[in-house]
Amino acid sequence: MATRTIGKVGVIGCGLMGSGIVELCARRGLDVISFEPTQSASDTGRGRVQRSLDRAVKSEKLTRAEADAALGRVLFTTDLDSFADRELTVEAIVEQEAAKIEVFGRLDKIVTSPDAVLASNTSSIPIMKIAMATARPEYVLGIHFFNPVPVLKLVELVPSLMTAAETEDRARSFAVDQLGKTVVRSKDKAGFIVNSLLIPYILAAVRMLDSGFASAEDIDNGMMLGCAHPLGPLQLADLIGLDTIKAIAEAMYEEFKEPLYSAPPFLLRMVEAGLLGRKSGRGFYEYTR
C-alpha cells in the first residue's frame, strides 16, 4: 500500500532552523503554519523567510512569482491551537529538553488527527524523552534537518523504541519524496550520527585553541586545506552557535559520561559572555552583523 502524502505541515519555532524548514516546505507546495509565541518573534521569523526567498530570486534559483507563491502558502501565527489539523508538525525550538517536553505535551492535546506525525528537529536530545510527554509515542520521532535547510541535502531520521513502522515510513517518504532530501537512519541515542562525530571534533579544536597549541586561523586552515573541509571546526562552531554546541555537548555527556563530550571551560566562558558566533557578531572570530 502506498504511503500517504502529507499536505499540511506545522513548524514550531521560526528561528534559524525553523524558518528554513518553513521555507523548504512552502517551496515544495505544502500548506504551512509557522508558530512563535509572540508577535515580535513571528514577524522576525517571517522576515527571515522573506529574505531567504529574496536571495533565491536574486541567485535565479526561484522566480519572483514562485517566491511570492511560496510565502503565500505560509500562515505565521502566535496561536498554537491552529495546529489542530496538521498532518505533520516539526518542533524546532531552543535545544532544551524541558522546553521541548512542554511543547509536545501541548501538541498532544491540540492535534486532532490520531495518526498525525509529531517530529522534533532536536540535534541531540533522545526522542524517547520527548515522546513520553505525549499519549501517542508511536507517532513521535526525530526529523533532524541541517542548516541551511533549503540547501543541505541531509536529514537524520530518528525513531524511538516506541515509534511505529508506519510513522517512520511516512516521515521517510515526506523527507525523500516530498522534500527531496537524503535520509540517514540513526538509533535514538543523544547526538545521533552526525553530532556524535562532529561535536567531539569541534570540542577538540576548542581545547587546542585554549591550550595555545595553535591559533584559530591555523586550526581552521589546517582542516580546510589539509582535509578539504569547507569550513574549519572553529568557523563551523561560530556558524552553528556556541550556545548550541554547548547544549549538544551537555546532552551527549549526560547520556554517555564520556570525557570527549564534556564542554571545555573556555567554551562555557564564551557562552556566558554572550560570544555565540555569527548570530551575536563575535565568537572565535568577529563578524559584521
- The Cα-based distances of 150 to 145, 181, 229, 288 in angstroms read 9, 10, 21, 24
Whether residue 287 is contained in a domain is answered as: no
Whether residue 86 is contained in a domain is answered as: yes
Domain holding 245, by residue range, is 194-280
pLDDT in tens, 109-143: 999 999 999 999 999 999 999 999 999 999 999 99
> Are 245 and 140 found together in one domain?
no
The domain boundary, picked from 153, 185, 217, lies at 185
The mean pLDDT of 66-83, rounded to a whole number, is 97
pLDDT in tens, 139-165: 999 999 998 999 999 999 999 999 999
The mean pLDDT of 29-58, rounded to a whole number, is 97
pLDDT at 1 over 80: no
* Chain centroid, CA 95 distance in Å: 9
> Are 166 and 218 found together in one domain?
no
> Are 42 and 132 found together in one domain?
yes
Q: Which of 95, 195, 250, 280 is catalytic?
A: 195
> Are 116 and 20 found together in one domain?
yes
The mean pLDDT of 24-48, rounded to a whole number, is 97
pLDDT band at residue 289, thresholds of 50, 70 and 90? low
Whether residue 286 is contained in a domain is answered as: no
pLDDT in tens, 85-100: 999 999 999 999 999 9
Q: Give the C-alpha separation, 49 to 259, whole Å.
A: 39
Q: Which of 87, 91, 95, 156 is catalytic?
A: 156
Question: Does residue 156 carry a catalytic annotation?
Answer: yes
Q: Give the C-alpha separation, 68 to 123, whole Å.
A: 31
pLDDT at 4 over 90: no
Q: Give the C-alpha separation, 132 to 38, whole Å.
A: 27
Over pLDDT 70: what percentage of the chain? 99
Q: Which three cell numbers stand for residue 159?
A: 525513531
Question: Do 95 and 125 contact (CB within 8 A), yes or no?
Answer: yes
Q: What pLDDT score was predicted for residue 288?
A: 83
The mean pLDDT of 49-62, rounded to a whole number, is 96
Residue type, 227: C
The mean pLDDT of 154-183, rounded to a whole number, is 98
Question: Does residue 229 carry a catalytic annotation?
Answer: no
pLDDT band at residue 213, thresholds of 50, 70 and 90? very high
Q: What pLDDT score was predicted for residue 89?
A: 98
* Number of domains within the chain: 2
Q: What pLDDT score was predicted for residue 2?
A: 63
Question: Does residue 42 carry a catalytic annotation?
Answer: no
Whether residue 25 is contained in a domain is answered as: yes
Whether residue 81 is contained in a domain is answered as: yes
Question: Does residue 195 carry a catalytic annotation?
Answer: yes
Q: What pLDDT score was predicted for residue 236?
A: 97
Question: Do 91 and 103 contact (CB within 8 A), yes or no?
Answer: yes
The mean pLDDT of 209-227, rounded to a whole number, is 98
The domain boundary, picked from 142, 164, 185, lies at 185
> Are 153 and 13 found together in one domain?
yes
CATH number for the domain including 266? 1.10.1040.10
pLDDT band at residue 14, thresholds of 50, 70 and 90? very high
> Are 19 and 73 found together in one domain?
yes
CATH number for the domain including 63? 3.40.50.720
Whether residue 109 is contained in a domain is answered as: yes
Question: Do 248 and 195 contact (CB within 8 A), yes or no?
Answer: yes
Q: For residue 82, what is the DSSP state?
A: G
Whether residue 173 is contained in a domain is answered as: yes
> Are 176 and 241 found together in one domain?
no
> Are 180 and 203 found together in one domain?
no
> Are 71 and 202 found together in one domain?
no
Calculated CA dihedral for residues 170, 240, 261, 145, nearest 10 degrees = 10
> Are 31 and 140 found together in one domain?
yes
- The Cα-based distances of 187 to 171, 172, 190, 193, 232 in angstroms read 15, 15, 9, 8, 28
Q: What pLDDT score was predicted for residue 3?
A: 75
Whether residue 288 is contained in a domain is answered as: no
> Are 31 and 146 found together in one domain?
yes
The domain boundary, picked from 145, 162, 185, lies at 185
Q: Which of 34, 95, 124, 144 is catalytic?
A: 144
> Are 150 and 216 found together in one domain?
no
Mean pLDDT for the chain overall: 96
Q: Which of 120, 123, 160, 186 is catalytic?
A: 123
